């Protein structure tokens, strides 16, 4: 067994032991798809000062740096794969989080899947292994990212459809879909995704530092709850990052740094100020993510606690103000 195979097997065991791979089909996919072929290089914080990044890559002539690259690829952590003008624009997501998202998508044999955010192509390869090349489409706005993803996918013998385009617009030419998985954070749900989904389809997307799973009723209606899993992704390009909601409010850092409260704060941003959000959170017994949900009904879209028609509801980004968005890769 080569070094990469041993490291891959160890990573799969680690993810499975965390409870993130309950479905044997997904465990087989993670065991079969070599992550290192999708991450030929990545960036880590350097030792030469704040803001400096070190590039580790598989063709480095230094054997110690090659070892660090390979071990880093098979560590359960996200990897920064593309940085432009000092800004992270694409990453390879944490494998255990990818596993939880894929499991939460609840795909079945024969399902067609759209991925928003091609990233390295690794997530598309896992989907293609679980389903079939012909059933998987991945879209990204950046032609450099899609070309790179195609190259990586070809290296492992996978050939899902890789499309260059605005992720917020989906991929109408390949619709309809049974499931849509999003690998970049969104402030709300683009209606194009609903219109390109079959009735009963699932949409899983990072929103407000959580993962919402929506069940689509028709092209104008969808509803669902958040998973318990926290999630931090690069924002859908053209939208504001959720971290902006964490500024100000006069709350102490110990409160603002609480991961669960950060979720509530970002979810209610624009409707409640930080103190109001904290008062609600305390009053309701510090509710977990699973008690929150999102409803899309025509032109209206709102988040809620416990009941979509209950007393605690907050509008998400109104459609009239939703920016034109483009998707960076996140997998």
Active-site annotation, residues: 90
Query: Do residues 304 and 271 lie in contact, with contact meaning Cβ atoms separated by under 8 Å?
Result: no
- Torsion (CA) 39, 149, 129, 216 in degrees, nearest 10: 120
Query: Do residues 120 and 95 lie in contact, with contact meaning Cβ atoms separated by under 8 Å?
Result: no
Tokens coding 4:
């990469």
Query: Do residues 329 and 120 lie in contact, with contact meaning Cβ atoms separated by under 8 Å?
Result: yes
Query: Do residues 179 and 103 lie in contact, with contact meaning Cβ atoms separated by under 8 Å?
Result: no
- 82 strand-pairing partners: 90
- Minimal CA–CA distance to 230: which of 257, 187, 262, 253? 262
Q: What is the DSSP letter of 234?
A: P
Separation of alpha carbons 133 and 146, rounded Å? 16
């Amino acid at each position: 067994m080569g070094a990469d195979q041993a490291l891959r097997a160890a990573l799969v065991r680690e993810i499975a032991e965390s409870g993130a791979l309950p479905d044997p089909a997904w465990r087989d996919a993670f065991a079969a798809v070599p992550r290192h072929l999708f991450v030929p290089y990545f960036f880590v914080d350097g030792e030469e000062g704040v803001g400096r990044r070190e590039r580790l890559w598989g063709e480095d002539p230094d054997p110690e740096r090659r070892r660090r690259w390979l071990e880093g690829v098979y560590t359960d952590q996200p990897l920064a794969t593309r940085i432009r003008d000092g800004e992270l624009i694409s990453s390879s997501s944490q494998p255990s989080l990818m596993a939880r998202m894929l499991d939460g998508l609840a795909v079945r044999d024969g399902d067609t899947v759209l991925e928003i955010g091609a990233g390295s192509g690794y997530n598309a390869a896992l989907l293609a292994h679980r389903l079939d090349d012909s059933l998987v489409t991945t879209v990204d706005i950046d032609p450099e990212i899609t070309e790179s993803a195609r190259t990586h996918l070809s290296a492992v013998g996978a050939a899902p459809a890789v499309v260059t385009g605005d992720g917020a617009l989906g991929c109408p030419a390949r619709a309809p879909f049974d499931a849509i998985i999003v690998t970049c954070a969104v402030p709300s749900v683009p209606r194009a995704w609903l219109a390109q989904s079959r009735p009963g389809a699932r949409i899983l997307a990072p929103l407000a530092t959580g993962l919402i799973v929506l069940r689509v009723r028709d092209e104008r209606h969808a509803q669902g709850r958040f998973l318990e899993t926290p999630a931090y992704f690069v924002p859908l390009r053209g939208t504001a990052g959720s971290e902006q909601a964490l500024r100000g409010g006069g709350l102490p850092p110990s409160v603002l740094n609480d991961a669960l409260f950060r979720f509530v704060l970002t979810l209610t941003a624009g409707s409640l100020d930080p103190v109001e959000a904290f008062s609600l959170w305390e009053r309701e017994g510090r509710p977990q993510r699973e008690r929150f949900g999102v409803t899309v009904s025509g032109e209206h879209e709102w988040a809620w606690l416990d009941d979509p028609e209950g007393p605690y509801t907050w509008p998400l980004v109104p459609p009239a103000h939703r920016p034109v968005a483009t998707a960076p890769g996140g997998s």
